Structure 1
Amino acid sequence: MTLTNQKHLFSLDESITYLNGAAYSPTLRSSVQRGIEGINLKASNTHLIKGSDHFTLPQKVQKLFAQIINEPDYERIAIISSVSYGMAVVAHNVHRLPNLKNKTHIIQIQDEFPNNVYAFDRVCQEHHLVYKTIAKPEVLENRGGLWNQAVLEGINNETAMVVMPHIHWIYGVKFDLKAVSKRCKEVGALLIIDGTQSVGILDFDIQKIQPDALICAGYKWLLGPYSIGAAYFGEFFDEGVPVEESWMHRKDSDNFAQLIRYERAYRPKAQRYNMGEHSQFIQVPMFEDSLTQLLAWGIENMQSYCSEIIEKPLIALQELGCWVEESKNRANHLLGISLPKEINNQSFTDKLAANKIIVSNRGVAIRVSQNIYNSEADLWKLVEVLKNSL
């Protein structure tokens, strides 16, 4: 399937060139309508809400997300409020790692997103662990490849856990998660993946990667609303400790007539890790709609589309003195672009904004992140502003 531009399905301002999907995605028109229906349901038609809706509605989202990541068992998917919530689940369960007393560190990569650092501060204090940060190589040639190699070399028998993304949120480097997972299993370390900047736009196969957990915010590449996301939790977490003790987490909680017969047993697998009130009658239908559309487009088709629209403009940017990771070490939807030395990142980002071109300044690079609602012409507009700035 060859995709064409899908901007007509979004409520984007035609005067804006939006190249900032890694910050917030725009919302599908159809998802907005589902959200309005959810608002009206809660506001005026609460008599139509059935007890079973608390479970059947989120199950639809769990099944769709499971399909996106090639996980056959939807009960391994939890609906979460945020990445920090998902990472809190992980932090609550590190103490269950066998031979934790023989472990000394948690591996992270340099310039990681703050959520994935703060989540384990208390864990480190309680279990006498330290962060072991794998530094970004100083050289530019094959930087992504060397960084991947350094991650693998950093994992050893003293590693308790590796916490890392699929795609670096600033530089766009793609990490070899299959190789990292294999190494983690060799040394008895957990592998926790933040898939926020990849899942929904780049192929992610749970069966091939086999992480212990995959945590994803919903409002970026999954095209969902804010304050909802999805997470996969593997077998290590099956008997673990949830962040919240919701009535909905418990076995047979869909039997409303029996709720005061307090049940200590949890629902199976990842269902104990759903956030409280995870039915979310407004956000869940919106999320269901966006995930359905992603599957209809096809994740690989979306990645190919992004590759097509950046190819020629990216060559032009490089000819103007910009640097970006080699194609073998990155994806096509998120580019960390180093500008020519004479160009100030913030000034250039401001100049783009003045021309109604929206990107992110991430200090050491500008981040340009395109999706199915963009066109090659959008990238050429950025090239033209740079050309006029030199």
Structure 2
Amino acid sequence: MKKQVLIFRCTILNDMINQKHLFALEEGITYLNGAAYGPMLRTSIEKGTEGMLLKAERPFTINPHSHFEPAERVQHLFARLLNIDNPQRVAIITAVSYGMAVVANNLHRLPNIEAKKHIIQIQDEFPNNVYAFERVSKQLSLTYHTIARPDVLENRGQIWNERILNAISHETAMVVVPHVHWIYGVKFNLEAISKRCKEVGALMVVDGTQSVGAMDFDVQAIQPDAVICAGYKWLLGPYSIGLAYFGAFFDEGVPVEESWLNRMNSENFSQLIKYERAYRPFAQRYNAGEYSQFINLPMLEDSLTQILDWGVNNIQEYCKQITQKPLEALVSMGCSLETEAYRGHHLLGISLPQGVDNAGFTEQLLSNKIIISNRGVAIRVSPNVYNTEADMWALVEVLEKSLG
């Protein structure tokens, strides 16, 4: 049976066939909430169980290689996913907040930092990416420069992107920006932002949590200084593990913690009391403590392997196919969302027709076993390859009933 599943993995999505059979989703639920929590693959659960039993039943089989080789495989997979030329620039972290803490810990090292005045962020950013820099901003006498979301829906993505580019100046220390906005689904032009940052000597730090795994992200083309991703959303991994890319600026930087695993020759357990001052190369100093997670790493390795087999472009195309016609119906009923040129197909921030309450509509959907997110100013609908077009039509039907 396992061999058959592996064959499906490599071939089936190119024909745009639904993949729900590979997931452990509860039957009878229409799950359109992958931007909140990605469900788990059945094979990932098996890998996690094996890892749990390794520690519980066979701890005597754990050896030095057990601490490093699974992590290296995950780093190589993530490097393939983002077109990173050196897997050692990938760090294994616990959460986006950890990766942002690495950035905050190193901002003082930016050349000419004393001449910088502000950090650029966008309005309605995810809290992690705001809280992370409050302390260091005070220490370095920096202020937040928040780029307002346009009040108009027409050309909102284009206008917002233009506002960011126009705000970047020689007084900018850093731009912190997502690839896709976590509420509105607006896509930001990272290549243009990165280019402008380099012109003025600013860092560009990207929260890739709501895109990486479902949308193409090319580090070679974008040239960001850091990309930080939670593992439990579009990477389909477990909670409390994530991945981060750190570029050349961080090569000789200051880690958040001093884990013994991150030092040179740490795989030689018989020599650990010969304390080593040198770090392992590139981003390996930023791996979180106890990153050799015997349960979470094998699960994330499995999900990354599956995503690469599917191909993120195929995932995007599949989401487009299953949402296109239902979205046309929603718009005809008075809903609005970002134009296609400035959004992905996997995360849709939808404004409901006037008079329809977001919270009430979300509860109506829930009573019909349809799961989305209410994000206050919009509802967020986020399908993936375990969904079908019928799932989207089920949402449309509930709205039709709401409108009477």
Do the two structures share a fold, i.e. TM-score over 0.5? yes
* Structure 1 SS opposite 2:341: helix
Match of 1:180 among 193, 201, 210: 193
1:76 paired to 2:110? no
Equivalent in the alignment of 1:88: 101
CA deviation profile, 1:47-88 (whole Å, cap 9, x unmatched):
111111101110010000000000121000000000000000
Q: CA deviation at 1:310?
A: 0.3
Distance 1:237 1:69 in 2: 18
CA deviation profile, 1:80-123 (whole Å, cap 9, x unmatched):
00000000000000000000000000000000000000000001
Contact in 2 for aligned 1:26/1:223 (Cα 8 Å) = yes
Contact in 2 for aligned 1:313/1:380 (Cα 8 Å) = yes
Equivalent in the alignment of 1:43: 56
Equivalent in the alignment of 1:169: 182
1:379 paired to 2:392? yes
Structure 2 unmatched ranges of 5 or more: 1-13
For the aligned residue pairs, the C-alpha RMSD in angstroms reads 0.5
1:14 paired to 2:27? yes
Equivalent in the alignment of 2:10: none
Distance 1:55 1:295 in 2: 22
Contact in 2 for aligned 1:3/1:297 (Cα 8 Å) = no
Equivalent in the alignment of 1:114: 127
Alignment of 1:342-353 (within 5 A): 342-353=355-366
1:198 paired to 2:211? yes
Contact in 2 for aligned 1:78/1:271 (Cα 8 Å) = yes
Distance 1:350 1:222 in 2: 27
* Structure 2 SS opposite 1:93: helix
Q: CA deviation at 1:258?
A: 1.2
Distance 2:63 2:263 in 1: 19
Distance 1:293 1:274 in 2: 24
Equivalent in the alignment of 2:116: 103
Alignment of 1:211-222 (within 5 A): 211-222=224-235
Percent identity among equivalent residues?
65
* Structure 2 SS opposite 1:55: helix
Equivalent in the alignment of 1:337: 350
Distance 2:136 2:142 in 1: 7
Distance 1:214 1:82 in 2: 12
Q: CA deviation at 1:140?
A: 1.3
Greater mean deviation of Cα atoms: 203-212 or 41-50: 41-50
1:62 paired to 2:75? yes
* Residue type of the alignment partner of 1:130: T
Q: CA deviation at 1:14?
A: 1.9
* Residue type of the alignment partner of 2:232: Y
Q: CA deviation at 1:2?
A: 3.1
Match of 1:258 among 271, 276, 288: 271
Distance 2:345 2:26 in 1: 24
Distance 1:268 1:325 in 2: 42
Q: CA deviation at 1:178?
A: 0.2
* Structure 1 SS opposite 2:352: coil
CA deviation profile, 1:360-380 (whole Å, cap 9, x unmatched):
000000000000000000000
Equivalent in the alignment of 1:322: 335
Q: CA deviation at 1:4?
A: 1.1
Q: CA deviation at 1:212?
A: 0.3
* Residue type of the alignment partner of 1:328: A
Distance 1:7 1:197 in 2: 20
Contact in 2 for aligned 1:334/1:367 (Cα 8 Å) = yes
Contact in 2 for aligned 1:201/1:221 (Cα 8 Å) = yes
Distance 1:263 1:386 in 2: 62
* Residue type of the alignment partner of 2:53: N
Distance 2:372 2:350 in 1: 11
Match of 1:299 among 312, 323, 327: 312
* Structure 1 SS opposite 2:15: coil
Distance 2:65 2:360 in 1: 54
Contact in 2 for aligned 1:10/1:27 (Cα 8 Å) = yes
Distance 2:16 2:45 in 1: 23
Distance 1:321 1:219 in 2: 33
CA deviation profile, 1:309-342 (whole Å, cap 9, x unmatched):
0000000000010001110010000000000111
Equivalent in the alignment of 1:360: 373
Distance 1:91 1:4 in 2: 43
Distance 1:140 1:12 in 2: 35
Q: CA deviation at 1:3?
A: 2.8
Distance 1:13 1:39 in 2: 23
Equivalent in the alignment of 1:232: 245
1:150 paired to 2:181? no
* Structure 1 SS opposite 2:64: coil
* Residue type of the alignment partner of 1:346: A
Equivalent in the alignment of 2:11: none
Deviation above 3 Å: which 4+ runs of structure 1? Answer: none
TM-score scaled by length of structure 1:
1.00
Distance 2:355 2:214 in 1: 33
CA deviation profile, 1:148-197 (whole Å, cap 9, x unmatched):
01010010000000001000000000000000000000000000000000
Aligned length: 390
Structure 1 unmatched ranges of 5 or more: none
Equivalent in the alignment of 1:141: 154
Match of 1:281 among 287, 294, 307: 294
